[in-house]
């Protein structure tokens, strides 16, 4: 079989192979034109012309004269060198729709890169291309996006997991029920109605307004209420309002509450007592160990999300109730990786 009969139909936009380059070299020796070579091996004429220019070198003949000659090995070597210098092209290419969507979600809607990609996949949003979370982080690192940099990301670090030191007893809270006594099934997060509670303060040492943050362990549903101060009376007032709002359904929605040992939570008897049914308990409160924030991990993660809108050191008095409700709505409609990028609202439905 000759070199002409050994060719097969090539797919478009395929690079020349090393074998095809040697075919070109043979056909040039047979005085064939670029157009004839292109037809013979199934490539475009311009592809052949570019290849001949790439692989042509000046050679010394036996008569000590110089001639220009195409060498397949030279052409292939230069092709490989150019490929190494080129680097991978951007997968996002000229997909302006995807780029605009990513910028809007991260800048305006304060989504993390992972939440953006997860939402696209779950909701089946259609764009020209698709990229993964790692690729998006790489693009942001390289400055591919005009309007996004690392400063726009909520978290950008590789933090080593710390060693946790558990303190067995909170000496200032000997009357409260410790988390050790909390039923084991609550840890599984399979039953709705078990919450974690914490406060978010503004300026350090500020005794003014703060936020009471309630996080449901199974769905990560959030309830955020602004309080005038960080006192037990204010916490009780919020719980009383929630009990009145939900009425008979309150015991189903709020079965237990896990908090830290902050002074605003210490009198469990008052906080547990129903404001509707005198002498009855409305829920059960458990206290985490001191210096053990991981025992209320969902709460701590919720606080970090809130800090996207209310940075540390900000005076919370400046925020009206409508703004706090808007943050709560955003958190309950934020796609969570742990839920397969469903929202807390969807999980609680």
pLDDT digits 0-9 by tens, 47-64 = 999 899 889 998 877 777
Residue 3 has pLDDT above 50, yes or no: no
Q: Is 341 exposed, middle or buried (0-12, 13-18, 19+ CB in 10 A)?
A: buried
179-348, CATH topology level: Nucleotidyltransferase; domain 5 (3.30.420)
pTM of the model: 0.69
Residue 320 has pLDDT above 90, yes or no: yes
* Whole-Å CA distances, 192 to 52, 153, 195, 286: 71, 31, 9, 16
Residue 214 has pLDDT above 60, yes or no: yes
Which segment of 69-73, 115-119, 138-142, 275-279 scores lowest on mean pLDDT? 138-142
> Predicted confidence band at 306 (pLDDT cuts at 50, 70, 90)?
very high
The rounded percent of the chain whose pLDDT value lies above 70 is 88
pLDDT at 8: 43
Distance CA 30, CA 2 (A): 13
Delimit the domains of the chain by residue range.
Answer: 18-86, 96-152, 179-348
> Predicted confidence band at 167 (pLDDT cuts at 50, 70, 90)?
low
pLDDT digits 0-9 by tens, 226-243 = 999 999 999 999 999 999
Report the b/e string of 200-235 with b at 16+ CB within 10 A: bbbeeebeebbbbbbbbbbbbbbbbbbbeebeeebb
Report the b/e string of 156-165 with b at 16+ CB within 10 A: eeeeeeeeee
What average pLDDT does the segment 200-219 reach?
88
Here the tokens at position 175 are: 């009357």
Distance CA 62, CA 172 (A): 100
pLDDT at 95: 86
What average pLDDT does the segment 119-129 reach?
93
Nearest residue to 308 (alpha-carbon basis) of 140, 134, 105: 105
pLDDT at 235: 96
pLDDT digits 0-9 by tens, 241-286 = 999 999 999 999 999 999 999 999 998 999 999 999 988 999 999 9
> Predicted confidence band at 319 (pLDDT cuts at 50, 70, 90)?
very high
Question: Strands 56-60, 222-227: parallel, antiparallel or unpaired by DSSP?
Answer: unpaired
Average pLDDT taken over every residue of the chain: 87
Handedness of CA 317, 243, 266, 262 (dihedral sign): negative
């Amino acid at each position: 079989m000759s070199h002409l009969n050994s060719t097969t139909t090539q797919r478009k936009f395929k690079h020349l192979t090393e074998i095809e380059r040697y075919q070109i070299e043979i056909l040039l020796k047979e005085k064939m034109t670029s157009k004839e070579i292109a037809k013979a091996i199934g490539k475009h004429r311009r592809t052949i012309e570019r290849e001949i220019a790439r692989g042509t070198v000046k050679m010394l003949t036996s008569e000590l004269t110089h001639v220009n000659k195409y060498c397949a090995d030279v052409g292939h070597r230069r092709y490989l060198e150019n490929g190494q210098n080129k680097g991978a092209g951007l997968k996002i290419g000229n997909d302006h729709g995807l780029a605009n969507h990513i910028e809007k979600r991260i800048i305006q809607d304060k989504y993390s890169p992972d939440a953006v990609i997860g939402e696209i996949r779950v909701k089946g949003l259609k764009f020209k291309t698709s990229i993964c979370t790692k690729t998006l982080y790489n693009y942001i690192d390289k400055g591919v996006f005009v309007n996004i940099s690392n400063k726009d990301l909520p978290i950008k670090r590789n933090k080593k997991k710390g060693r946790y030191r558990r303190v067995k007893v909170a000496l200032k809270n000997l009357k409260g029920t410790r988390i050790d006594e909390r039923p084991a099934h609550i840890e599984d997060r399979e039953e709705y109605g078990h919450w974690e509670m914490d406060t978010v303060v503004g300026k350090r040492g500020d005794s003014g307004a703060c936020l009471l943050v309630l996080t449901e362990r199974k769905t990560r549903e959030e309830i955020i209420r602004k309080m005038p101060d960080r006192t037990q009376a204010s916490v009780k007032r919020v719980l009383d309002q929630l009990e009145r709002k939900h009425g008979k359904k309150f015991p189903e929605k709020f079965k237990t509450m896990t908090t830290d040992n902050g002074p605003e939570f210490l009198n469990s008897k008052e906080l547990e007592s129903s404001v509707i049914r005198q002498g009855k308990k409305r829920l059960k409160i458990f206290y985490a160990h001191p210096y053990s924030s991981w025992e209320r991990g969902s709460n701590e993660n919720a606080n970090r999300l809130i800090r996207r809108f209310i940075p540390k050191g900000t005076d919370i008095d400046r925020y009206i109730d409508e703004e706090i409700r808007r943050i709560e709505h955003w958190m309950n409609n934020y796609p969570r990786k742990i839920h397969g990028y469903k929202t807390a609202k969807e999980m609680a439905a």
